[in-house]
Structure 1
């Protein structure tokens, strides 16, 4: 890494670090324009997968605006099925305002027109002509009746004829009188029908006049809007249906408010509104595709909903209450979801797959309206763990159909000059972005050492930048406490050590138990069938190594190796496997001439929380061989490493924590320069030890022994040649076999 005084002198990091594989996968996924090529982004928490995903989307979405504004409007032909209309970005709000202005203008203009003198004059002239025709009919029948000696009279029953003279009935015969009266009554009925026809004609003519005036006022507005939106067939058709509905209900536009209350529902004019469903006006200036991150992907939040009101004890809704979801807002762009949150809602996951398959968004509703679906053009990015990816891939047949791109973030990267400089630039970025004190060169080196320790490999660096960020922030805090101009090496060390102290309560309690003699661990002397094994315990984010006394007893019998933890159901399956492998090694090396005749009991002493893993299988074998051969094992040396059936020592995890755990145990009980740890040779690169432990090793106060096989480890533990050890073990097993044969 190039030399610098502090991070203010170097360029800040503007890219993701150590994720070349993930970057290539993301680029391919974003370039493929296919609805099946959605993306699953996986990796450990803190590796920057979410930050990078959003950054990549922001970069890639520029100039790729294919999204629209979306509106819902009233369906005049099928009122229960609102119509969806897609418009170019920014035009949705304009269309909504245009319709509002149209209705406002028509309310004013039509009211003025129907309250004008010209309309009243034309209406009166029209009605007068029909009144004249009605009067002519009445005069005609009245005259005819008088000529026949009857006069026309209105009564509660309608028009009736009565004699002009009181004695008229006496002057003519009864037959003639009733004949004439029936004739006149028949004529009266016919006249009433004609008058009704005339009145109907008058109404039709009046409606025709209203429509003529309405068209004269409405059509110019409709024609103007139709021309403005001529590229949108659905808008033009909507405007035509809107005009026809207004003409049909034109009386509502000139009636007084009081009259309207009596004659029509208060929400009548609601159908002339526009529901601006998705408004992308803010996006029109940058011409980028939308990027929507939904952190609570419930069905309603993803796919929208229809709200409703209680009205007179009933549920009531309409097209203006259709609410968009994240999928609608992301249409034409990218939808980012977190897999663990999405899978909390089984319906959301099913609906998302159905939406991707059908390429349209359907609002799932139980209300009285059924909105028209909207076509979908979207790329979904799921962010989650490898565990969830494997589950979905294995158990959901649709997952591999719709999520064909796997972007896998690594939790470590190569330790080289470029990546070390990348961490320095990352620190520079965080100092600049968060207004922190800059780090000196030595402080950066200490952060790099911390990153190496996180990776668990001297040739690797961790990409869990959230944990690195914690050290940066807390190191800055200690620099502020010390009134330092820059964050130095000691500030970083303080941050790391103080965090350890905040988290290591359980470790301290266990140390106290050893110091007080409650937990039996020897770090000096020799014992037969007893060895110090090493394990790693975790409490939340903090892990630490711990020495555990492993004991073995052997006797004549035929039960083989007995795992006491397994017998009491405190053993995990991997530990059980290790015990069986141990039996395989014993069989190959000591049971070729006759059956293995022994009972061997293995136990983790003072272990109350269960045991799993096979990293202690080597130590367990050492204890059994010690017990069988009566060979004392050094208690100042602890051992870790798993074995295979051929006696080879295999790598294990947590090697740093295990070594440090035994070191601090020995330190608390008294370092004597003879203590140390046996580890698998291939684990050497995984030792990233603290400065204190490294110094103790350099000074010869603590030792690390690396081995390839059982033979090397037993020789270190016993100071005996393995051939001698094997001979003693075989001699004991031979005696077991003879005793067993004698007892038969």
Structure 2
């Protein structure tokens, strides 16, 4: 049997409930000094520093915490400071592969030299093109060309002149038909039939000449090529001398040799700007000679820090892409159309991403995992991952990757990834948890005062006096739902500062005062009060059946929160009283408690657990006295929405006792709290909102002076009530009672002793338990008579 507990409830005073910051304890504005930006987040700071210092693979970071905590600002500050002392990474470029145009080469250079390399190569081409044009158009060079062409032309003329004379001697004329075939026909002066033998001899002579001329023409082109080559070598090789001496890395050096040889080989095309050689896009540099700088660090000191929380919009944005162009119905691509992604920009440094966005675009998360595991950036357009066609695709060299990735996300997302993705923990070994609350003490109060002053100054807001700062600290304390803590949500603080400053400016006040902060808070509450006002109107109209005075058997005012679940700090949520009723029917040996909400699937598992605990507690109290010959039903009246949680367990237990004992419960009191199997009251959430809800309901017909709320003692620290409610408590117009056990609550609610015993150790007949046992005895006798 449960050991019976009988204690006195604690009637809370204003002293017990005060959580306000004294403005006089705050330093003056001129006394505030620079603060530590990592204050309150030392655990997250240490975790991030650990990951940054470990260079082995897999030590990427998941930074967890609510949105708006300032994770981004703190991480950026930390990474920026850390990056200053890291080596500046290499520059990366893509160049044309003269051996296989479909496999562009990736070249890396010391930081700051990649862009210079590209500029030098492009400048060499421009100089070569200019000098070659001058050379090839010079009189001396043209005379050499003309002499070779003239020699060939003279030889050609002599061959054909000799053949023509021989043909004339035999009265024949050379013709070339449409098929390019030669033939001899009689001339007009011919006076005898065609001699086929002579004709065949002339045809043989013609084809011999053609053969010789072909050989001579080939020699001519070889001589012209040699002339071009010698001229190109004389111009181009000196341009490459310094570059070849500077860049001695084998892959880069070999590329420069291949580039030099290709420019010499194609000197004539360079000067003529032949179609197909320069490409079909408007670029003064031919694609084959274009150096595509993918990432460079010309102005970088230390390693890069890329913060891409809101930039990620596609697969290509993260991994890079290969662009295509279409002209005159032809689609093509080359290495100059490769575009870098965030990973290229962050290579050698740090990349910060919003974790949620990785799952909003196809294949991004899987692609990131593959890239981090291979430690290489493989360029591939997303559409190529799902097709076997390779007609247009390039296969660029992979680029080695050395990056530390930091993901920003919620703790829920972290656990989802841990549970559903076996690769996640192998890659993101470090979790940095950002706290959304900090302990309330002198140090944190000073820190927040400094933070407020700094934010005000940075945003050029009117100065806040100490009463305004104290009011803001009070609101941060209230939002933490614990008088021993401050809420650490950066966006919430900033929004309150901005709106308070707006109120002050509107009032033409040079300072932001406490009154301006209070007005800003009232405006905020008003903006989010539309739904709650509809509920209060329902109560005023009598549509919601509540009693705030008198007493009733089997009826009790419980407290609930109507939460729309938009986020962790739903501004639209509000407290509301809820009538719970209990009905008892004699029933042989049952002792069952019917939960109507659970039976119609309007309640969750936690609510059901509270009901089972309550039934277990009931059996432990009265099981020794015989069978529990009754059935009970409990209902949350006028509730049409899904409920979960066990915060109504105390109320349900008390109303069940009331119905069993036929003892009325005072309707001027409401109760909230969970309960364990031993009857001890347990803390629940949202107590400030629940108390406020009942206070507002009582105000509809006016406070009577005896109304109040009963809650667990362990929840006293969570009570952060408005000045209006605190004033009513101080004036004894409203009351808060804290209890440790359900028996204390029962005594308050019924005004009777709960479990007093006589000298024999039996419950007194006028005690609540005595009345319950009397009814059990009566029912048992009734059942015995019937049987």
The answer to whether the aligner puts 1:271 opposite 2:296 as a matched pair is no
Query: Contact 1:6 / 1:438 at 8 angstroms: preserved in 2?
Result: no
Alignment of 1:425-436 (within 5 A): 425-436=450-461
Aligned residue in 1 for 2:494: 469
Q: Which runs of 4+ in 1 moved over 6 A?
A: 131-143, 149-153, 159-163, 165-170, 180-185, 262-265
The answer to whether the aligner puts 1:36 opposite 2:58 as a matched pair is yes
Alignment of 1:695-710 (within 5 A): 695-710=727-742
- SS of the equivalent of 2:573 reads strand
Q: Please, what TM-score do these two structures have when normalized by structure 2?
A: 0.86
Query: Contact 2:747 / 2:754 at 8 angstroms: preserved in 1?
Result: yes
Residue 190 of structure 1 and its aligned partner are, at CA, apart by: 4.5
Aligned residue in 1 for 2:466: 441
Aligned residue in 2 for 1:290: 305
Aligned residue in 2 for 1:361: 377
Structure 1 residue corresponding to 2:224, chosen from 200, 203, 206: 206
Q: Deviations over 1:42-79 (max 9, x none)?
A: 11223221211111111111132433332222222111
Structure 2 residue corresponding to 1:225, chosen from 230, 239, 243: 243
Structure 1 residue corresponding to 2:582, chosen from 552, 558, 561: 552
- SS of the equivalent of 1:542 reads coil
The answer to whether the aligner puts 1:307 opposite 2:307 as a matched pair is no
Hey, what's the Cα distance between the residues in 2 that align with 1:166 and 1:456?
124
Hey, what's the Cα distance between the residues in 1 that align with 2:620 and 2:81?
62
Aligned residue in 2 for 1:691: 723
More deviation in 419-428 or 127-136?
A: 127-136
Gaps of 5+ in 2: 1-21, 385-391, 565-569, 756-766
Hey, what's the Cα distance between the residues in 2 that align with 1:99 and 1:728?
101
Gaps of 5+ in 1: none
Hey, what's the Cα distance between the residues in 2 that align with 1:187 and 1:510?
115
Alignment of 1:129-208 (within 5 A): 155-156=175-176, 189-190=207-208, 192-208=210-226
Question: Cα gap change, 1:152/1:237 in structure 2, threshold over 3 Å: closer, same or farther?
Answer: farther
Query: Contact 2:184 / 2:199 at 8 angstroms: preserved in 1?
Result: no
Structure 2 residue corresponding to 1:341, chosen from 349, 357, 371: 357
Alignment of 1:225-624 (within 5 A): 225-228=243-246, 230-255=247-272, 260=274, 266=280, 270-281=286-297, 283-284=299-300, 286-295=301-310, 296-365=312-381, 366=384, 367-539=392-564, 540-557=570-587, 558=590, 560-592=592-624, 594-624=626-656
Q: Deviations over 1:63-108 (max 9, x none)?
A: 3243333222222211111222223333333233222222222222
Hey, what's the Cα distance between the residues in 2 that align with 1:627 and 1:277?
82
Structure 2 residue corresponding to 1:736, chosen from 762, 776, 779: 779
- SS of the equivalent of 2:558 reads strand
Residue 40 of structure 1 and its aligned partner are, at CA, apart by: 0.6
Aligned residue in 2 for 1:665: 697
Hey, what's the Cα distance between the residues in 2 that align with 1:116 and 1:37?
64
- SS of the equivalent of 2:363 reads helix
Question: Cα gap change, 1:590/1:158 in structure 2, threshold over 3 Å: closer, same or farther?
Answer: same
Residue 393 of structure 1 and its aligned partner are, at CA, apart by: 0.9
Hey, what's the Cα distance between the residues in 2 that align with 1:7 and 1:74?
63
Structure 2 residue corresponding to 1:118, chosen from 122, 137, 140: 140
Query: Contact 1:90 / 1:279 at 8 angstroms: preserved in 2?
Result: no
Residue 311 of structure 1 and its aligned partner are, at CA, apart by: 2.5
Hey, what's the Cα distance between the residues in 2 that align with 1:265 and 1:477?
59
Hey, what's the Cα distance between the residues in 2 that align with 1:209 and 1:336?
58
Hey, what's the Cα distance between the residues in 1 that align with 2:163 and 2:538?
126
Hey, what's the Cα distance between the residues in 2 that align with 1:266 and 1:468?
56
Residue 629 of structure 1 and its aligned partner are, at CA, apart by: 0.7
Residue 210 of structure 1 and its aligned partner are, at CA, apart by: 1.6
More deviation in 112-121 or 714-723?
A: 112-121
Structure 1 residue corresponding to 2:233, chosen from 215, 223, 231: 215
Hey, what's the Cα distance between the residues in 2 that align with 1:525 and 1:262?
97
Hey, what's the Cα distance between the residues in 2 that align with 1:406 and 1:97?
43
Hey, what's the Cα distance between the residues in 2 that align with 1:328 and 1:454?
42
Question: Cα gap change, 1:77/1:510 in structure 2, threshold over 3 Å: closer, same or farther?
Answer: same
Q: Deviations over 1:457-497 (max 9, x none)?
A: 11111111322222222222222233333222222222222
Residue 714 of structure 1 and its aligned partner are, at CA, apart by: 0.9
More deviation in 429-438 or 122-131?
A: 122-131
- SS of the equivalent of 2:407 reads strand
Number of aligned residue pairs: 729
Query: Contact 1:297 / 1:342 at 8 angstroms: preserved in 2?
Result: no
Residue 669 of structure 1 and its aligned partner are, at CA, apart by: 2.2
More deviation in 91-100 or 416-425?
A: 91-100
Query: Contact 2:557 / 2:671 at 8 angstroms: preserved in 1?
Result: yes
Hey, what's the Cα distance between the residues in 1 that align with 2:275 and 2:379?
34
Hey, what's the Cα distance between the residues in 2 that align with 1:343 and 1:93?
35
Hey, what's the Cα distance between the residues in 2 that align with 1:35 and 1:511?
59
Residue 541 of structure 1 and its aligned partner are, at CA, apart by: 1.8
The answer to whether the aligner puts 1:26 opposite 2:72 as a matched pair is no
Question: Cα gap change, 1:545/1:37 in structure 2, threshold over 3 Å: closer, same or farther?
Answer: same
More deviation in 96-105 or 613-622?
A: 96-105
Question: Cα gap change, 1:207/1:730 in structure 2, threshold over 3 Å: closer, same or farther?
Answer: same
Question: Cα gap change, 1:167/1:503 in structure 2, threshold over 3 Å: closer, same or farther?
Answer: closer
Residue 428 of structure 1 and its aligned partner are, at CA, apart by: 0.6
More deviation in 335-344 or 245-254?
A: 245-254
Question: Cα gap change, 1:34/1:265 in structure 2, threshold over 3 Å: closer, same or farther?
Answer: closer
Question: Cα gap change, 1:568/1:150 in structure 2, threshold over 3 Å: closer, same or farther?
Answer: same
Structure 2 residue corresponding to 1:109, chosen from 104, 125, 131: 131
Hey, what's the Cα distance between the residues in 2 that align with 1:589 and 1:135?
131
Query: Contact 2:92 / 2:109 at 8 angstroms: preserved in 1?
Result: yes
Query: Contact 2:62 / 2:430 at 8 angstroms: preserved in 1?
Result: yes
Q: Deviations over 1:510-535 (max 9, x none)?
A: 22332332222212111100111111
Hey, what's the Cα distance between the residues in 1 that align with 2:519 and 2:309?
39
More deviation in 37-46 or 245-254?
A: 245-254
Query: Contact 1:651 / 1:683 at 8 angstroms: preserved in 2?
Result: yes
Hey, what's the Cα distance between the residues in 2 that align with 1:273 and 1:169?
66
Aligned residue in 1 for 2:103: 81
Q: Deviations over 1:98-136 (max 9, x none)?
A: 222222222222122222222233234445666677788
- SS of the equivalent of 2:239 reads helix
Q: Deviations over 1:289-334 (max 9, x none)?
A: 2323242242111111222222233432222221111111111111
Question: Cα gap change, 1:705/1:169 in structure 2, threshold over 3 Å: closer, same or farther?
Answer: closer
Hey, what's the Cα distance between the residues in 2 that align with 1:115 and 1:654?
90
Question: Cα gap change, 1:192/1:273 in structure 2, threshold over 3 Å: closer, same or farther?
Answer: closer
Query: Contact 2:128 / 2:236 at 8 angstroms: preserved in 1?
Result: yes
Q: Deviations over 1:243-265 (max 9, x none)?
A: 2222333321343x6xx459997
- SS of the equivalent of 1:283 reads coil
- SS of the equivalent of 1:562 reads strand
Residue 664 of structure 1 and its aligned partner are, at CA, apart by: 2.5
